[in-house]
Amino acid sequence: MTTKNTAILLISCPDQKGLVAAIADFLYQHNANILHADQHQDAELKLFLMRVEWDLAGFDLDLNDFEQEFAVTATRFQMQWRLARSAYRPKLAIFVSRYDHCLADLLYRYQTGELNCDIPLILSNHTDTQWLAEAYQVPFQHIAVNREDKADAEKTQLALLRHHHVDFIVLARYMQVLSADFIRHYPNRIVNIHHSFLPAFHGARPYHRAFERGVKLIGATSHYVTEVLDDGPIIEQDVARISHRDSLDDLIRRGADLEKIVLSRAVRWHIENRVLLYANKTVVFD
């Protein structure tokens, strides 16, 4: 996989006539070779969202000057916007407890280049997954978390994250609830996998409850973490059909496959700057 050298512009603003013309003109004036453009208009909220990606070869504006140059357009249309470069590999920290299927899956995809990021750190409240970290040569830190010293553990975690300049966090079946204070350090930058089709079975032991309820499909949901448990914006979900022949263990086993797929999609989309947020929802320009 060769690294692309592209810029990605993400825009969110009130919908208004002339928006697309203004953005397209700006890019054309600077000789941008647009590779992908996707936009969405929310008719009810009168909101406009856009993702546009262009080749930096031939683009005649230094990206360091982009903000200043784009400011007139951005202000005129009250844009919230962000510029990203595909060449920048965001720094990901993975939090994990004992279940290792999502970790193993992410590491494999990282190793093959499917996930275009760096992983400077795996943090765990257990040591069970250390062997995997070592197999993929990723630094591993064990930080025990107990009820009484949770605040201290989070302090240590935050220090490590800062030290490694971590851009975003993935909770790969991390079984501890993060404090609101911790979450505020990484707003919309903590991606979780929940092992149910949210909002069904939020909270603890979703497979057990799905089994008891007798549902005919199980699900997995990847979402950004907010202060309300399992309530953040959903990035991706998927389901698998089950039947009475499936025991609780079968649900857990089959769910693990769902979790891996759903989480890895969400992580890839986050890395590739494909996720925009509004109204506690996501737009995924995939």
101 lies in the binding site for a copy of itself (CB under 8 A)? yes
Instruction: Enumerate residues 6+ apart whose C-beta is below 8 A from 280.
Output: 232, 233
137 close to 119: Cβ distance less than 8 angstroms: no
Catalytic residues: 230
Judged by CB under 8 A, the residue of 104, 143, 158, 229 near a copy of itself is 104
283 lies in the binding site for a copy of itself (CB under 8 A)? yes
CB of 28 or CB of 88, closer to a copy of itself: 28
Judged by CB under 8 A, the residue of 83, 143, 175, 200 near a copy of itself is 200
Alpha-carbon torsion angle 271, 277, 281, 283, nearest 10: -60
Alpha helices in 50-169 (DSSP H): 66-76, 101-112, 130-135, 150-163
Q: Tell me the window of 62-70, 81-89, 159-167, 236-244 that interacts with a copy of itself (CB under 8 A).
A: 236-244
Alpha-carbon gap, residue 286 to 232, rounded angstroms: 20
69 lies in the binding site for a copy of itself (CB under 8 A)? no
Alpha-carbon gap, residue 121 to 223, rounded angstroms: 21
Q: Tell me the window of 4-12, 145-153, 170-178, 195-203 that interacts with a copy of itself (CB under 8 A).
A: 195-203
Strand-pairing partners, residue 42, are 47
Which residues in this chain contact a copy of itself in the complex, by CB under 8 A?
A: 17-18, 20-21, 24-25, 27-28, 31-41, 43, 100-101, 104, 108, 112, 114, 135, 197-201, 212-217, 219, 233-234, 236-239, 241, 243-245, 247, 253, 257, 261, 279-284, 286
